[in-house]
Chain A
Amino acid sequence: MMELVCPAGTPAALRAAVEAGAHSVYCGFADETNARNFPGLNFTPEDMAEAVTFAHARGARVLVAINTFPRAGAEPLWHRAVANAEAAGADAVILADIGLLAHAAELHPSLRRHLSVQAAAANPDAINLYAEAFGVRRVVLPRVLTVEEITAINREVDVETEVFVFGGLCVMAEGRCSLSSYATGKSPNMNGVCSPANHVVYAEEGRDLAAKLGGFTIHRTPKGASAPYPTLCKGCFTSGGQTGHIFEDPVSLDATQLIPRLAKAGVSALKIEGRQRSRAYVAQVVRAFRAAVEAEAAGRPLPESTLARLTEGQMATTGAYAKTWR
């Protein structure tokens, strides 16, 4: 069966994920070392140790995301995070920065290392470099590849690959995108926040809901239409007299029906996005995907997805996996 890797922003969400059938849960510390550094979220070192004990007692693994890029001079914060993950008994750390990978490989050699999607390793040469130089055992592939491209990559690499199958859809070269920085001064790469909430304002303007980021209106939605979160990559822009979503609509990824093709492509693990979401989201999505991977393993037809209600835009896409315009 393919491994189901599930999100947890809080200990309660981790318990919900494990009880709903997660094989692995990924989470991070409550600071800028992880790419979901949102208010009220994440784990203290003590929370992490308790979470690992809870998960292991139920046969699930815990992967700790330390996937931002350390600031020069502030490396000890990231180094402590790796040491704390190992002390908590984590099954792996998910890293993006080459310096931090080297540090972990040298000082924590028995701690399994995964390469975060934030490293944007999207071809066999890059992946093999990370595997050979830093002993990376698994790579989370960027959300810009087709299934055919993933198949081709898996033929040329020896490490496991993990792909996103559900949730918020990043359409940029992850770890390299500076759109959020332009509007707010903060980015997922350096601060762990894309479109940080303290720069987000929603305002009723006439009959429209205006969603603003850093003072810029990113969306204007009429009454009754679904409300988006104002991220620039899914923003509505006017250019050359035309108005529309330039990069991507405000929709979410749902690749449920692609699971058999991803299995054939040699993918080891399926990842659900959403560490910033509630335990209700985690439980519902994990339960649905656990049923899907079990169906795939048993050769049964996959269940129809019923998760659109949980997604941004209340609509789902298969993202780049099945895109033809490129």
Chain B
Amino acid sequence: MTALLPRLPRLLGLAALPLPLPPLSFFLGALTRRMATAHPGMLRRLGDYAGHRFLIDPVDLPWLLLLHPETGAMTAHRRARPPAHDARIAGPMSAFFAMMHGAEDGDALFFSRDLSVEGDTAAVLALRNAMDDAELDLSDELAALSGPLALPLRRALAGAERATGLILHRVDQGGFPA
């Protein structure tokens, strides 16, 4: 395992347990659709795999997340009742965020066993490659959904980054030092 990857505090996971899933799924769906609209190349790169169901298993959170790129749906599910899926990717939330923001390489996280994969490996690779090319920035996407609250939200996200060690914005901008 990579010592560099932080785990979410156990207390945070316990605090998240009673959260109602329908509003969470609604919010995650809105975020996913916003990303798909802002980065249309993602669906093109996914090709036929856009119709697959990807089960994201953040091992330090109490839920499972089911992503269906074609419809832009992302729904939260109780661990006791995992939904049907074509591929499953499991790992700490920090690994997913680091990969999404260009800070960590997905293959390296897999080699080190920080991430594990089951089911349709080709679909997982397509998703990883499509997201990597999209150069996503979660802070930007959330700010775009937040209207007048964008600025305080950015400050809150920056605070959350400092407190948890999670990478919540794109970090790979900047060239080779002259």
* Chain A residues in the interface with B (C-beta under 8 A): 9-13, 16, 19-21, 38-41, 196-198, 200-204, 209, 223-229, 276-281, 283-284, 287, 290, 309-314
Contacts and interface: CB of A to CB of B under 8 A. Distances in A.
B60 interface: no
13 contacts: A9-B129, A38-B129, A39-B125, A39-B126, A197-B121, A197-B124, A198-B122, A227-B111, A227-B116, A276-B107, A277-B107, A280-B172, A311-B108
B129 A309 contact: no
B132 A19 contact: no
Given A279-B172, A312-B111, A196 B122 contact: yes
A314 B112 contact: yes
A280 B120 contact: no
Given A196-B122, A202-B118, A277-B105, A227 B129 contact: no
Given A227-B110, A287-B176, A39 B99 contact: no
Given A21-B176, A40-B126, A40-B127, A13 B121 contact: no
Contact of A203 (B1, B106, B112, B118): B118
A26 B118 CA distance: 31
Interface in B87-135: 99, 102-108, 110-113, 116-118, 120-130, 132-135
A292 to B, nearest CB: 13
Nearest to B47: A39
Given A40-B46, A278-B102, 19 more contacts: A10-B129, A10-B132, A12-B133, A13-B133, A21-B175, A40-B130, A201-B121, A224-B113, A276-B125, A277-B105, A278-B107, A278-B132, A280-B104, A280-B105, A281-B105, A281-B107, A309-B108, A309-B112, A312-B111
Interface in B21-66: 45-47, 49
A contact face: mostly helix, strand, loop, or mixed? mixed
A225 B132 CA distance: 26
Contacts of A21: 175-176
B174 interface: yes
Contacts of A283: 102, 172
B113 A278 contact: no
Tell me which of B104, B111, B123 has the highest count of chain A C-beta atoms within 10 A of its own C-beta: B111
Interface residues of B, number: 40
Contacts of B47: 39-40
A12 B122 contact: no
Nearest to A308: B108
Q: Which 6 A-B pairs have the closest CB atoms?
A: A40-B129, A21-B176, A39-B126, A40-B126, A198-B122, A10-B133
Contacts of A225: 113
Given A196-B122, A287-B176, A226 B113 contact: yes
Interface string B125-155: 1111110111100000000000000000000
B86 to A, nearest CB: 12
Given A12-B132, A311-B111, A202 B102 contact: no
Contacts of B175: 19-21
B52 to A, nearest CB: 11
A283 B105 CA distance: 10
Contacts of B99: 278, 280
A39 B113 contact: no
Nearest to A197: B122
A135 B82 CA distance: 59
Nearest to B120: A198
B29 to A, nearest CB: 22
Nearest to B119: A201
A279 B106 CA distance: 10
A35 to B, nearest CB: 16
Nearest to B45: A40
Contacts of A287: 176
Instruction: Pick from B46, B49, B113, B116 the residue with the most CB of A within 10 Å.
Output: B113
A133 B23 CA distance: 67
Contact of A40 (B107, B128, B135, B172): B128
Contacts of A11: 133
A150 B45 CA distance: 39
